[in-house]
Amino acid sequence: MDRMRELVDILNRWGYEYYVLDAPTVSDREYDKLYDELKELERETGVILPDSPTRRVGGDPIKGFERHTHIARLYSLDKAVSEDELSAFFTRVKKAGDATFTVEYKYDGLTVCLTYEGGRFVRATTRGNGVEGEDVTAQALTVQSFPLAISYKGVLEVRGEAVIRLSVLGQYNAEHPDDPLKNARNAAAGAIRNLDPKVTKTRRPEIFFYDVNYMSEGGVLSQVEAMEFLKREGFQTFPYLRVCSSPEEVFAAVDEIEVGRRELDVLTDGAVIKVNEERVRSDMGATDKFPRWAIAYKFEAEEAETTVERVFWQVGRTGKLTPLAEVSPVELAGATVRRATLNNYGDLTKKDVKVHSRVLIRRSNEVIPEILGAVSHVEGSVPVEKPKTCPYCGSAVEEVGANLFCTNANCPPRTVQRLTHYCSKNAADVEGMSEATLSVLYERCGVRKFSDLYRLTEESFTENGKFWDGFGKKKISNLLEAVEKSKRVPLERFLYAIGIEGIGRVAARDLAAFGSVEAVAALTFEELVALENVGEITARSILAYFADAENREELSRLREAGVMPYARERVTEGKFAGESVVLTGSLASMSRTEAQKRVEALGGVCQSAVSAKTTLVVAGEKAGSKLEKAKKLGIRVIGEEEFLAML
Ligand SMILES: [Zn+2]
């Protein structure tokens, strides 16, 4: 047993030197010799230590990815694409307090989260929707750039980006000429999200760590401390970290990255700028989607010239006609581009795009690149005709501003888009129900309404007793299971899913506070506009939606089918009942998240910013601008002691 411990320790040190420090101190042969000795010992004794390097082989293929809820939410980052937007970020930070900034590379791969308990690695998950991700432990175990055992003994979640080095990608493609990997980002995501860990291993992904997302005990006070902690514990970290004390220094660092990234062996598409100090971070808080204290600065996307071959029109959920161009295939930012969008009819005429013209296209973060404008026309250039009728259903087209709309509410692609929206991740989340599948269901078994999804059976996918092409038994049962699962949907996601015009996820959350669809349907115009995120136009569209007989019928069909949106329970009694509370500064006795939970458990509502609606401000240590604003507005302010007494 002692020998086993010794072997594990030596091999882990060598592995760390090789994979993380990139500075091996022994030959592969020496490593293999001890590795074999360890394997033999493990075979003889039947004991495998939790941090044994033999666990890194990844194991057998798995059937599917288990879902896992992150301890702390993994936010995505707000983006800036211009210096103006970056300057606006600095202004916001300045209001919150004195801060320094860190600048890092923004790697372009797949975000993963690693969990440790009692000093042991226990789980790896993808970011997923930030709240819930997929368990990719078996896949991550094949990656060598993180430790299986650490000295920190509490519960820990760290965050990193899984990437595939460009040189590794090149090598892989040279070895697999028939089945090359398209680009490094997709390759990294495909490797980690592969059901067979052996495949993950052959793609040789690595993970670079850049954040401590959760610590049950203790904590880090800044980004610099977080990075030091990660390095000390043996994680591979980003090699570049600049600490800047002014916006000017940040701009200089960003420029440095923009030049330097061309030389890197890893795909990067920008720089990440974070407020360094935790106290300023917690004061700034987060929006619905992003932390307010960090921003990703995206470098200008790459551009290329190509020829328009054909322009066709797509019809969206609202009936809007979007011109899409098929272009001669062109390589752009590591991918082959065949299609580019033109936003709307007005855009197409303004940019003077004609069929057979040479155009400039840009690929940024969007899935479909955009046409920036015509470069030159040729003799055979043909203007794109403005459609008088919908190319799908032949109905009249209406022009509103720069946009054209199909006037038929039941236009086939519109219906398919509505269904796609309903099934999407942030809506009813019917996993696997893609636009392509929904188009087939539309065509072949008359799926038109959301409620139609709930009458699907295995037979629906058959013709003459045989399954449709591309639909196996397993796939169908997964789809049906996902449909079944979507019956229990959080109210806010359901309200977003049904596609009331103007209702995004934020407004849906406001509405969900009323507890049920029926309660929302009964709201008056005055009650609606009183909500933080509902304006007059949206309020009218909500009223119109619930006044419509067809919508009401569909809602009752969904109810009959067993779709039961549930509201997150809201406590309305307690010490904080009726209070709109803003927490600011840091509390010595608990984290802000904890404090928020306790306030809500006692009937209070927490807000992120002080407004006229705020009734109480809890000010901890180093409370900043929020406290000043509260004083100005004459809002009641209490300190930590009084707060604890209320709890
Ligand atoms: Zn149409």
In this chain, the answer to whether the domains covering 2-57 and 491-560 adopt an identical fold is no
Rounded to the nearest whole angstrom, what is the distance from the C-alpha of residue 62 to the centroid of ligand 1? 43
**Range in 10-19, 539-548, 595-604 with the lowest mean pLDDT:** 595-604
Confidence of residue 148 (pLDDT cuts 50, 70, 90): very high
371's CB contacts (< 8 A; 6+ apart) are 308, 325, 340, 341, 342, 351, 353, 359, 360, 361
CB 209 within 8 A of CB 20: no
- Return the domain boundaries, the chain: 2-57, 70-298, 302-406, 412-485, 491-560, 580-646
Instruction: Report which DSSP code applies to 203.
Output: H
* Of residues 125, 195, 117, 204, the one with CA closest to residue 159: 125
- Provide the whole-model pTM: 0.52
- Name residue 206's amino acid: E
540's CB contacts (< 8 A; 6+ apart) are 525
pLDDT (tens digit, 9 = 90+) per residue, 549-558?
999 999 999 9
Rounded to the nearest whole angstrom, what is the distance from the C-alpha of residue 313 to the centroid of ligand 1? 10
Distance of alpha carbon 162 from alpha carbon 126, whole angstroms: 10
Rounded to the nearest whole angstrom, what is the distance from the C-alpha of residue 56 to the centroid of ligand 1? 54
Instruction: Report which DSSP code applies to 202.
Output: H
- Say yes or no to pLDDT of 130 above 50: yes
CA 62 to chain centre: 24
| Domain 491-560 in CATH 1.10.150.20 | yes
Q: Which CATH class is domain 580-646?
A: alpha beta
- Name residue 249's amino acid: E
To 5 degrees, how large is the angle CA 68–CA 73–CA 79? 125
Rounded to the nearest whole angstrom, what is the distance from the C-alpha of residue 346 to the centroid of ligand 1? 19
Residues designated as active site: 106
- Which residues are found with C-beta within 5 Å of the ion, ligand 1? 390, 392-393, 395, 406, 408, 411
**Range in 289-298, 327-336, 362-371 with the lowest mean pLDDT:** 362-371
Confidence of residue 58 (pLDDT cuts 50, 70, 90): low
Which runs of consecutive H residues, i.e. helices, occur in 513-591? 517-521, 525-529, 536-547, 549-560
Over pLDDT 90: what percentage of the chain? Answer: 45
pLDDT (tens digit, 9 = 90+) per residue, 594-603?
787 788 778 8
pLDDT: is 608 or 618 the higher one?
618
Rounded to the nearest whole angstrom, what is the distance from the C-alpha of residue 377 to the centroid of ligand 1? 31
pLDDT (tens digit, 9 = 90+) per residue, 161-195?
999 988 888 888 777 766 767 678 888 888 998 88
- Say yes or no to pLDDT of 418 above 90: yes
In terms of average pLDDT, the best of 31-35, 336-340, 429-433 is 429-433
* Of residues 395, 400, 441, the one with CA closest to residue 418: 441
Provide the pLDDT for residue 310. Answer: 94
Q: Is 617 helix (H, G, I), strand (E, B) or coil?
A: strand
pLDDT: is 53 or 505 the higher one?
53
- Say yes or no to pLDDT of 543 above 90: yes
CA 490 to chain centre: 19
SS (H, E, C) 441-489: HHHHHCCCCHHHHCCCCHHHHEECCEECCCCCHHHHHHHHHHHHHCCCC
Report the half-sphere exposure of 164 (CA within 13 A, side-chain side): 25
Rounded to the nearest whole angstrom, what is the distance from the C-alpha of residue 413 to the centroid of ligand 1? 7
Rounded to the nearest whole angstrom, what is the distance from the C-alpha of residue 5 to the centroid of ligand 1? 69
Confidence of residue 206 (pLDDT cuts 50, 70, 90): very high
Provide the pLDDT for residue 332. Answer: 78
Q: What is the DSSP string of 321-357?
A: EEEEEEEEEEEETTEEEEEEE--SHHHHHHTT-EET-
- Architecture in CATH of 70-298: 2-Layer Sandwich (3.30)
Over pLDDT 70: what percentage of the chain? Answer: 96
- Say yes or no to pLDDT of 486 above 70: yes
* Of residues 116, 80, 125, the one with CA closest to residue 274: 80
Confidence of residue 242 (pLDDT cuts 50, 70, 90): very high
pLDDT (tens digit, 9 = 90+) per residue, 78-87?
888 777 888 8
259's CB contacts (< 8 A; 6+ apart) are none
Cα distance from N-terminal residue to C-terminal residue, the chain:
51
266: left (phi over 0), alpha (psi -120 to 50) or beta: beta
Please give the helix or strand (H or E) that residue 420 lies within, else none. helix 412-423
| Domain 2-57 in CATH 1.10.287.610 | yes
* Of residues 43, 232, 44, 238, the one with CA closest to residue 156: 232
Distance of alpha carbon 165 from alpha carbon 161, whole angstroms: 12
Rounded to the nearest whole angstrom, what is the distance from the C-alpha of residue 406 to the centroid of ligand 1? 5
Provide the pLDDT for residue 401. Answer: 87
Rounded to the nearest whole angstrom, what is the distance from the C-alpha of residue 399 to the centroid of ligand 1? 14
As a whole number, the mean pLDDT across the chain is 88
Rounded to the nearest whole angstrom, what is the distance from the C-alpha of residue 300 to the centroid of ligand 1? 36
The CATH homologous superfamily for domain 412-485 is 5' to 3' exonuclease, C-terminal subdomain (1.10.150.20)
Distance of alpha carbon 143 from alpha carbon 201, whole angstroms: 7
Distance of alpha carbon 463 from alpha carbon 219, whole angstroms: 60
* Of residues 442, 451, 387, 453, the one with CA closest to residue 415: 442
pLDDT: is 87 or 610 the higher one?
87
* Of residues 364, 99, 77, 109, the one with CA closest to residue 250: 99
Q: Give the pLDDT mean for 610-627.
A: 81
Rounded to the nearest whole angstrom, what is the distance from the C-alpha of residue 641 to the centroid of ligand 1? 63
Confidence of residue 334 (pLDDT cuts 50, 70, 90): low
Q: Give the pLDDT mean for 320-346.
A: 87
Instruction: Report which DSSP code applies to 17.
Output: I
Q: Give the pLDDT mean for 612-631.
A: 82
Distance of alpha carbon 338 from alpha carbon 328, whole angstroms: 6
What totals of helices (H) and strands (E) does the chain contain, helices first?
24, 26
pLDDT (tens digit, 9 = 90+) per residue, 94-108?
888 889 999 999 988
Rounded to the nearest whole angstrom, what is the distance from the C-alpha of residue 395 to the centroid of ligand 1? 6
Strand partners, 325: 311, 340
CB 495 within 8 A of CB 512: yes
Please give the helix or strand (H or E) that residue 282 lies within, else none. helix 278-284
pLDDT (tens digit, 9 = 90+) per residue, 352-368?
899 999 998 887 544 57
pLDDT: is 478 or 54 the higher one?
478
357's CB contacts (< 8 A; 6+ apart) are 307, 308, 374, 375, 376, 377, 378, 381
Rounded to the nearest whole angstrom, what is the distance from the C-alpha of residue 329 to the centroid of ligand 1? 29
Provide the pLDDT for residue 366. Answer: 47
What is the fold, at CATH topology level, of the domain defined by 302-406? OB fold (Dihydrolipoamide Acetyltransferase, E2P) (2.40.50)
Rounded to the nearest whole angstrom, what is the distance from the C-alpha of residue 387 to the centroid of ligand 1? 11
Provide the pLDDT for residue 99. Answer: 92
- Token readout for 327 is 């272009």
Which runs of consecutive H residues, i.e. helices, occur in 124-236? 137-140, 166-175, 184-192, 197-203, 223-232
Rounded to the nearest whole angstrom, what is the distance from the C-alpha of residue 449 to the centroid of ligand 1? 17
Rounded to the nearest whole angstrom, what is the distance from the C-alpha of residue 389 to the centroid of ligand 1? 8
Provide the pLDDT for residue 559. Answer: 95
* Of residues 217, 421, 232, the one with CA closest to residue 318: 421
In degrees rounded to 5, what are phi and psi of residue 439? Answer: -60, -40
- Token readout for 191 is 């490797």
Provide the pLDDT for residue 182. Answer: 64
